[in-house]
Chain A
Amino acid sequence: MVTVGILALQGAVREHACSLEASGAEVKLIKRVEELEDIDALVVPGGESTTMRRLIDKYEMFGPLQEFAKSGKPMFGTCAGLILMAKEIIGQEHGHLEVMDIKVHRNGFGRQRESFEIPLNVDGMEGDEDYIGVFIRAPYIESVGPDVKVLATFQDKIVAAQQGRFLCCAFHPELTDDHRMHGYFVKMAEEFKNELHNVSK
């Protein structure tokens, strides 16, 4: 079994925990640097990206989170998590963790009254059924680098993507009972863990 951490500084933590557990992972809530050591993968949840960034800096988690990403361990960012992982944010001089080669537009779909849900076709998900994308003051990805695979688009805007072991989406899979995206991520974590295990043998 893999242990997946959830960055638990602020935001929809419990919902991610439910979806990850339903996908067969053990869950650990991460509030401090040292807790990053014992996990195989990390979810950066939805919430307020400005708030999370402030708390990341305050608790000196910024460097360790970048190290975590460099170590190759899988990361999955939803909504604010996607913003934190992006290399470029429109209207801001710098990105935050800058682990994914994507350029994002914060609140790209507007304010709360414009927030919506829509059935989406997400590449790589099991079965033919559409995925319900819940978009809340959501960002979108304006452009991606050459190594990034686009998994879903809506109105010609990129809303889910993968770059190697980094996964992100602009919507909230944790707010639905459809656990396929979390299952997909847990599988990524299992594969990475097995590879590490084989190398060390």
Chain B
Amino acid sequence: MVQTGTDRVKRGMAEMQKGGVIMDVVNAEQAKIAEEAGAVAVMALERVPADIRAAGGVARMADPTIVEEVINAVSIPVMAKARIGHIVEARVLEALGADYIDESEVLTPADEVYHLNKRDFTVPFVCGARDLGEATRRIGEGASMLRTKGEPGTGNIVEAVRHMRLIQAQVKKVVGMSEDELMTEAKNLGAPYEILLQIKREGRLPVVNFAAGGVASPADAALMMELGADGVFVGSGIFKSDNPEKFARAIVEATTHYQDYDLIAKLSKGLGTAMKGVEISSLQPSERMQDRGW
């Protein structure tokens, strides 16, 4: 019997993306540049996070025309963002044929209490997380892939580093605990016990965990790989730089060969100006996207 939308099929899709770079694009032309540069997937959206920040107002799912245009332009998988808790946006993106949905804090949340029940869907989901509690809650809801939240649209890597290090440290702690300590740890983290047990038994997260939120240079991408990311999302970094083609290729290569520093030095030469970054402490609390989601 043919079974679609199983955990293996949904999580497996993310496994195939490992070691790769997923790039934000807003039209077919950018999608082609990303594919040509070696992206493993593209994220179709109306505006990159930096522009969402600048525009203010309510950020929603992209116009279906953009999603369709991107799907028709490339042969690599196409992801798209739905608002946190917005069941219908997610269903629409699924109907359009998006290969992965990002239930994303970059958009304005539609529900301030509940995330989507992602198990209901055939299409797999990726969700952001700052710590292991958040990560395992999302897995509990059916997320098939994780990413750090970082602080999107800032070009500042510090938050992604914080989230990646914290999750790695918390996974190690769980793996090193004895089983009778796990329930209390679950309570402290706000984590589903069964998922902590699975992490302890397998020695790792049950799904792929990418870095996202602030990657603005090849060295940033390599840093996140060094810290244990399975791959990298680049949002505003590429198409806000001076030379997107060159920049995109450099980020792909730095991700593959993240420990080859001679190569990264070479790749980083003459890339032009990266996106202008934002110091995190200059953000108002209401401007912090990472605090969206629960």
Residues of B within 8 A of A111 (CB): 77, 97, 99
Given known A55-B256, A106-B75, A111-B99, contact A116–B16 (CB-CB < 8 A): no
* Distance of A47 Cα from B256 Cα, bound (Å): 13
- The residue on A at minimum CB distance from B37 is A54
* Distance of A112 Cα from B78 Cα, bound (Å): 9
B3 beta carbon closer than 8 Å to chain A: yes
* Distance of A48 Cα from B19 Cα, bound (Å): 10
* Distance of A176 Cα from B37 Cα, bound (Å): 31
Check B16 against A47 for contact (C-beta < 8 Å): yes
Q: Closest CB-CB distance, B271 to chain A, in whole Å?
A: 17
Considering the complex, which residues of chain B in the window 7-55 have a beta carbon less than 8 Å from any beta carbon of chain A?
8-9, 12-13, 15-20, 35, 37-41
Q: Closest CB-CB distance, B266 to chain A, in whole Å?
A: 12
Check A50 against B4 for contact (C-beta < 8 Å): no
Check B4 against A115 for contact (C-beta < 8 Å): yes
A187 beta carbon closer than 8 Å to chain B: no
Considering the complex, which residues of chain B in the window 46-86 have a beta carbon less than 8 Å from any beta carbon of chain A?
75-77
B185 beta carbon closer than 8 Å to chain A: no
Of the candidates B9, B20, B98, B99, which one forms a contact with A10 in the assembled complex, judged by CB atoms under 8 Å apart? Answer: B20
Check A47 against B40 for contact (C-beta < 8 Å): yes
Check A114 against B20 for contact (C-beta < 8 Å): no
Q: Which of A50, A54, A115 has the most CB of B within 10 A?
A: A115
Q: Mark A146-188, 1 if CB is under 8 A from B, else 0.
A: 0000000000000000000000000010011000000000000
Check B8 against A175 for contact (C-beta < 8 Å): yes
List the one stretch of A11-19, A67-75, A189-197 in contact with chain B.
Answer: A11-19
Considering the complex, which residues of chain B in the window 87-111 have a beta carbon less than 8 Å from any beta carbon of chain A?
94, 97-100
* Distance of A15 Cα from B1 Cα, bound (Å): 25
Check A175 against B12 for contact (C-beta < 8 Å): yes
Q: Closest CB-CB distance, B233 to chain A, in whole Å?
A: 15
Check B99 against A112 for contact (C-beta < 8 Å): yes
* Distance of A148 Cα from B257 Cα, bound (Å): 36
Check B15 against A175 for contact (C-beta < 8 Å): yes
Given known A51-B20, A54-B38, contact A116–B4 (CB-CB < 8 A): yes
- The residue on B at minimum CB distance from A171 is B12
Task: Give A contacts to B, CB under 8 Å.
Answer: 8-15, 31, 46-48, 50-51, 54-55, 58, 79-80, 106-107, 111-119, 134-137, 172, 175-176
The 9 closest A-B pairs by CB, nearest first: A112-B99, A54-B38, A10-B19, A48-B40, A12-B15, A116-B4, A115-B9, A175-B12, A51-B38
14 contacts between A and B (CB under 8 A): A13-B19, A46-B16, A47-B40, A48-B41, A50-B76, A51-B40, A111-B77, A112-B100, A113-B4, A113-B94, A115-B4, A117-B6, A135-B9, A136-B9
